[in-house]
Structure 1
Amino acid sequence: MKRNSSIDLMKSCAIFFVISVHFLLNSGFYDMTIHSTLAIFWIGIRTILITCVPLFLVATGFLMNRKELSAQYVLGIVPVIISYIGISLLVWGVLSLVGKGSDFSTAINGIFDYSTDSYSWYVEMYLGLYLFIPLLNIIWNYKKEIKNYHLYIVFIASLLTFLPSLLNSFGKVIPDYWQICYPVSYYFIGAYLYTYQNEIKKISIGKLVTAFLSALTIFTLTDTFASWNQEFQWLDHNDYFGYQTAIMTVLVIAILWRTPIPKWSVRLLKALSTATLTIYLISDLTDQFVYGFFKHEIPNLSQRVIAGPIIIPVAFTSAALLGIFVGKVLNIPFKRKKERKEN
């Protein structure tokens, strides 16, 4: 299948958003009292950045909705596991060298409970999703000739995961038990965008930008009012399974699809897109050094949050460079195996 540069752009934005949203966690933003223009600004930025994980899940649905169950498919999870274990041990090893690591037995146990690398909850989620994908694809392709069949799947998935955060705002109206299944919903949205991408791309960029700015303004004001004169309120509606995040995710993707990609950036986007997992996992290590430095140099919380436009590029660049390098090293055995098969 021909490489899709728009998907590379989407995954590259997703990994940048991940590193950026961690700024809010590591800088101390969530400890701030929301009563200033600065706080409102970062609430608005968070409204965009929180689409990071959904963007990855939608990309997975877009790229993998035609996969079928086979031994080769199941073994395809091995590189993910190798990357996870390798980087977790690397993070532990480096931190141990500087006196910040746990003992070896704790690190080994932490690999099994996804705590040695503190950002590895995504791997725990993705392993299960990956094994389910061939079954989800059976559902997606089962009755695809029926009119609105795919729309029905997306609607039911959204009803169970995203809509409770809207309809239950003032009391329970619909079941919210299935909200935690949001990865499946985003996967189906990705499959829908793949299946109907030509129709979606016909929507004018003007309408998309207007919808995006309108949603961003409304959601920023909503979250500001909910958090005013207290710490930021991380609630259902602004979580990964919240209706705000779902709407923003679809709008961000639709706009990215209409964004021209310069030729000079194609190789860069491919490098970032290919290494998103290793960049994400290694950022646990780089973040500890980057934020340790900036917390020491800028002890004042408000000043540190103001410095976000400086801190985020430093955090992203360090994670990206190290993540791409480590990814290439970990991929050497699989690359050689592939070359032997081709020869």
Structure 2
Amino acid sequence: MSQGKKSFSAAIDTAKVAACFMVVLLHVAAINFYSFDDHGQWWASNFYDSLTRTCVPLFLMISGVLLLRKQESMPEFFKKRFVRIIPPLLFWSLFYMAWNSWQGERYGRWYEWITTLANGPVTFHLWYLYAIVGIYLFVPFLRKIWHATKQSERKLYLALWAVASCWPTIKVLFDIDVDALEVYGIGPFFGLVGYLFLGAYVHDVYVEHSAKRQYWLLSLGLFALFSVLTMLATYAYSAQAGEADPLFYDYLSPLVLVSSIYAFNVLYGLGARLGKSLDVGTGLPGLKKLSACTLGVYCIHIFILHRFDEATGIMEGDASSWWAIPVTAFVVFSVSMGAIMLLRRFRAFEYVT
């Protein structure tokens, strides 16, 4: 493997593993988010939640880097990539439905299980798998647009996407009674899919500046700044409402959108440096193995989190959330990663994890 490919591989794998841990940390932090009357616990929740809000955008940006810059036919794309996302969606949906049934929830006859599956996620975090199905349907067309446009044209699209994406947050924040996206019929052209375009664009810009250490440090500083702004904006808006309000946590809110750019630069840059310093024969396979498990960890971690919380009660007890949240996230992430690595020893589970 060449030095350039080694750096790219390590950069992508580092970003995927970090984004996966951020998802776990976010979901642990969210447990006490609505306890606004207990400011000590709530501030810890707000801090960690604000710090990790870029996790889903990061996954989508990584997909943009890996998918949009490739050249392959549409049949090849659907055969090699699209069909891979269906088995995990079905397997993990059925897994949680089976668990819920064992816990007493009823879905009815077998055909009602199919209806339930078709109507959306059976547990909240599986929304991402459903969203990926819709997003991937448009990847072949996005790829053609990517290769047919100049950087200036890509900038224009991203500028329009950013404005349209931020509009719902701005509309609520300033109490504007105009749904511009619906009125002008542009809603379907925007949304989370724009993060794929953003990821491919930010990657190209980063590669141009990757030799400059100041660029990485600036990205780190700006990521910290926009995470803090998300935290403070969430507090200010919640205090005004008199209860916890996640308006600024939305994946398409202005602060999260900008923060995602710098989070990507930080993690990609960290991974690229790691790739340059590691020996291909020893360091990278371990990182790649962790990266290969991230989808499975995303799917199983809620199950592990609930079992851990039931067994310890740490998040509902008197323990300080400042240490309880990261400790719980570390344990849940580690157990989830171990479980997925064990499952992947059986070939059949490689298709669903």
TM range (shorter): 0.7 to 0.9
Partner of 1:78: 83
Q: Deviations over 1:271-319 (max 9, x none)?
A: 2322222221122322221222233x66437656752122111211122
CA distance in structure 2 between the aligned counterparts of 1:114 and 1:120, rounded to whole angstroms: 9
Partner of 2:157: 153
Partner of 2:325: 308
CA distance in structure 1 between the aligned counterparts of 2:221 and 2:18, rounded to whole angstroms: 20
CA distance in structure 1 between the aligned counterparts of 2:320 and 2:104, rounded to whole angstroms: 26
Partner of 2:52: 49
1:110 pairs with one of 116, 122, 135: 116
Alignment partner of 1:119: what SS?
Answer: helix
Contact 2:309 2:315 in 1 (8 A): no
Q: Which residue identity is paired with 1:33?
A: F
Partner of 2:301: 283
Contact 2:343 2:349 in 1 (8 A): no
CA distance in structure 1 between the aligned counterparts of 2:159 and 2:345, rounded to whole angstroms: 40
Partner of 2:246: 234
Structure 2 unaligned spans of 5+: none
Contact 1:162 1:182 in 2 (8 A): no
Contact 1:14 1:53 in 2 (8 A): yes
Cα deviation for residue 23 of structure 1 reads 0.8
Written as runs of structure 1 = structure 2, the 5 A alignment for 1:83-232 is 83-94=88-99, 96=101, 99-100=103-104, 102-103=106-107, 105=110, 107-144=113-150, 148-162=152-166, 165-166=169-170, 169-172=173-176, 175-177=180-182, 178=187, 181-201=190-210, 202=212, 204-228=215-239, 230-232=242-244
CA distance in structure 1 between the aligned counterparts of 2:204 and 2:179, rounded to whole angstroms: 29
Equivalent pairs, count: 328
Contact 1:18 1:53 in 2 (8 A): yes
1:271 pairs with one of 289, 306, 316: 289
Note the aligned Cα RMSD (angstroms): 3.1
TM score, norm. by length of structure 2: 0.81
Contact 1:83 1:330 in 2 (8 A): no
Cα deviation for residue 330 of structure 1 reads 5.6
Q: Deviations over 1:139-184 (max 9, x none)?
A: 222232xx61221121111121135534763243883543994222
Structure 1 unaligned spans of 5+: 335-343
Alignment partner of 2:125: what SS?
Answer: coil
Partner of 1:13: 18
CA distance in structure 2 between the aligned counterparts of 1:214 and 1:81, rounded to whole angstroms: 38
CA distance in structure 2 between the aligned counterparts of 1:155 and 1:200, rounded to whole angstroms: 21
Q: Which residue identity is paired with 1:280?
A: Y
Contact 2:41 2:320 in 1 (8 A): no
CA distance in structure 2 between the aligned counterparts of 1:301 and 1:126, rounded to whole angstroms: 39
CA distance in structure 2 between the aligned counterparts of 1:166 and 1:266, rounded to whole angstroms: 43
Q: Deviations over 1:15-73 (max 9, x none)?
A: 11111111133x3x122115634422331221121111101100011110124442221
Contact 1:35 1:228 in 2 (8 A): no
The alpha-carbon distance between structure 1 residues 258 and 72, as it changes in their structure 2 partners (threshold 3 A), is closer
CA distance in structure 2 between the aligned counterparts of 1:218 and 1:226, rounded to whole angstroms: 12
Cα deviation for residue 254 of structure 1 reads 1.1
